[in-house]
């Protein structure tokens, strides 16, 4: 379904309106049931039983999203369901599914062996799904808060770890600041546009309206924080480093997919008539993200801090697709999100498989001698690093290629050149990881502790990364059916 549908034809009331949101209702009820089960039933092996239940819930929720036949507006036009947000919800649920299965047998070593972990992850997922289908700025704000608050707690879940507590506190304080930006922007847009409903915000020219201009700046600033786009990236390196690795993977994937989904809806639907104002903001975020991410990662010695700056640079490349304001740009962003998700899953499946002195690895120096001790892991990590750098014929190359093509197609040649330059610069720190693995030896050997779930995640990611050209027609077919 297209988002250009008139709400008169697709406004669902009564039981039909309720059925539009059945996946979210199911997920919320499952969360309440899980809390009860944790207290009264899951007494032995509490975390593993809770994880199994959560994985089953995510699987059923994905089925309900895929096979829900109801599309349109519901709940007094507060939500709207079409093929686009169904696609994005499935991508969010896929990332959560891998996070849960990868964490199931790694909770003790990561210091997160609490059944609350699964409850908080599911609560955050519920917020993400509502945000993806919101049709009102107020619904969006409440959904983003439901998404964010559990993650603040998750970051500080290692109670006796100073870095974990620091990361949770920093994320909470700066997250509260970004929520203030977001809410202030929404209030300004409501005051000057007269509505917070996506269908009723009809802006044609805001050149002379200072209030609306400020509203847009604050709105996009709040969203930019959620995707760690520079200059709103200040929280990312510390939070990535201090959080347990499974939670770092969570922060790096699902919430960002949600925020980019929201940004795509705002770009291609709500504010499409004023893209000459909107794209200026996106271009600034795009260029600064590529600069800060690519240069900031060069000096890092911690794996997760490096991945934090890497994610900032990738956000810059993703925003390139939105700047084009074209269907090809939108499809390029959606494909990039799929590719980047599997790259993250692959990299973190390797990080979670290694430990040193019974502690998770953190420093780049911990990878010394990996090619000698565990050649299959070093080759896998080499492939993921090459793909992130955009080396053909791996998946990362195709992600960047389609984004650059969409930008060039719209005549933004300078942006494409800047993107290529920083893509080359980013190759430096990916190659640095490869150099450490293959050309530096270490007396302190890391220990391999790879579970079946981590093997599955790593090899699936490897298949998609190496043979993306076989999957491209399938992915592009899904994306074409799901475009806004």
Q: Would you give the distance in Å from CA 252 to the centre of its chain?
A: 5
Give the span between the Cα atoms of 164 and 176, in whole angstroms: 18
What confidence score (pLDDT) does residue 1 get? 37
Q: Each residue of 84-118: pLDDT tens digit?
A: 999 999 999 999 999 999 998 888 888 888 888 99
Sign of the four-CA dihedral 266, 267, 272, 277: positive
| Least reliable range by pLDDT among 11-20, 28-37, 325-334, 399-408 | 11-20
Higher pLDDT, 269 or 249: 249
What confidence score (pLDDT) does residue 4 get? 46
Share of the chain above pLDDT 90, in %: 67
Q: How confident is the model at residue 62 (pLDDT cuts 50, 70, 90)?
A: very high
Q: How confident is the model at residue 443 (pLDDT cuts 50, 70, 90)?
A: low
Give the span between the Cα atoms of 434 and 29, in whole angstroms: 46
> Model's pTM, two decimal places?
0.94
Higher pLDDT, 462 or 108: 462
Query: Of all residues in the chain, what percent are helix, strand and coil, respectively (each to 5)?
Result: 75, 5, 20
Q: Each residue of 170-198: pLDDT tens digit?
A: 999 999 999 999 999 999 999 988 889 99
Q: Find residue 72's DSSP bridge partners.
A: 81
What confidence score (pLDDT) does residue 2 get? 43
In this predicted structure, the answer to whether residue 461 has a pLDDT above a threshold of 90 is yes
User: Whole-angstrom distance between the N-terminal and C-terminal Cα of the chain?
Assistant: 8
In this predicted structure, the answer to whether residue 8 has a pLDDT above a threshold of 50 is no
- For the chain, give the mean pLDDT: 90
Going by C-alpha positions, the residue among 376, 374, 349, 354 that lies closest to residue 364 is 354
What confidence score (pLDDT) does residue 201 get? 85
DSSP of 6-51: -TTTSB--HHHHHHHTHHHHHHHHHHHHHHHHHHHT--SSHHHHHH
Question: Mean pLDDT throughout 113-137?
Answer: 94
Q: How confident is the model at residue 280 (pLDDT cuts 50, 70, 90)?
A: confident
In this predicted structure, the answer to whether residue 275 has a pLDDT above a threshold of 80 is no
Share of the chain above pLDDT 70, in %: 95
| Least reliable range by pLDDT among 23-27, 73-77, 146-150, 283-287 | 73-77
| CA-atom Rg of the chain in angstroms | 22
Segments making up each domain of the chain, as ranges: 1-166+229-263, 284-484
């Amino acid at each position: 379904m297209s988002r250009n549908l008139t709400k008169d034809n697709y406004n669902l009331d009564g039981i039909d309106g309720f059925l539009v949101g059945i996946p979210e209702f199911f997920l919320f009820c499952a969360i309440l049931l899980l809390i009860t089960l944790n207290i009264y039933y899951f007494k032995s092996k509490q975390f593993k039983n809770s994880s199994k239940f959560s994985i089953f819930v995510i699987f059923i929720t994905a089925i309900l999203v895929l096979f829900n036949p109801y599309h349109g507006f519901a709940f007094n036009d507060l939500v709207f369901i079409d093929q686009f947000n169904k696609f994005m919800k499935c991508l969010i649920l896929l990332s959560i599914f891998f996070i849960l299965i990868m964490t199931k047998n790694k909770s003790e070593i990561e210091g997160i062996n609490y059944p609350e972990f699964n409850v908080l992850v599911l609560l955050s997922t519920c917020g993400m799904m509502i945000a993806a289908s919101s049709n009102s700025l107020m619904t969006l704000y409440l959904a983003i808060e439901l998404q964010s608050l559990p993650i603040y707690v998750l970051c500080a879940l290692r109670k006796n770890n100073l870095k974990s507590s620091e990361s949770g506190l920093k994320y909470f304080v700066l997250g509260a600041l970004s929520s203030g930006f977001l809410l202030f922007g929404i209030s300004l847009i409501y005051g000057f546009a007269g509505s917070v409903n996506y269908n009723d915000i009809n802006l044609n020219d805001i050149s002379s309206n200072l209030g609306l201009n400020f509203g847009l700046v604050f709105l996009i600033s709040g969203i930019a924080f959620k995707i760690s786009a520079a200059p709103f990236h200040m929280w990312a390196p510390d939070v990535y480093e201090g959080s347990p690795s499974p939670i770092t993977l969570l922060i790096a994937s699902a919430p960002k997919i949600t925020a980019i989904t929201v940004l795509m809806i705002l770009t291609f639907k709500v504010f499409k008539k004023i893209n000459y104002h909107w794209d200026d903001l996106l271009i600034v975020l795009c260029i600064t993200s590529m600069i800060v991410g690519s240069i900031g990662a060069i000096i890092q010695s911690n794996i997760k801090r490096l991945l934090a700056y890497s994610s900032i640079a990738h956000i810059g490349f993703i925003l390139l697709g939105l700047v084009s304001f074209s269907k090809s740009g939108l499809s390029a962003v959606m494909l990039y999100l799929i590719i980047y998700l599997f790259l993250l899953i692959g990299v973190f499946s390797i990080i979670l498989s290694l430990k040193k002195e019974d502690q998770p690895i953190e420093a780049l120096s911990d990878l010394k001698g990996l090619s000698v001790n565990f050649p299959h892991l070093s080759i896998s990590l080499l492939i993921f690093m090459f793909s992130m750098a955009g080396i053909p014929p791996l998946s990362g190359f195709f992600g960047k290629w389609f984004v650059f093509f969409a930008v060039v197609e719209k005549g933004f040649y300078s942006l494409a050149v800047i993107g290529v330059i920083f893509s080359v610069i980013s190759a430096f720190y990916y190659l640095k990881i490869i150099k450490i693995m293959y050309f530096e030896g270490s007396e302190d050997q890391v220990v391999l502790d790879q579970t079946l779930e981590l093997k599955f995640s790593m090899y699936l990611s490897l298949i998609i990364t190496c043979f993306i050209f076989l999957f491209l027609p399938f992915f592009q077919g899904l994306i074409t059916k799901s475009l806004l």
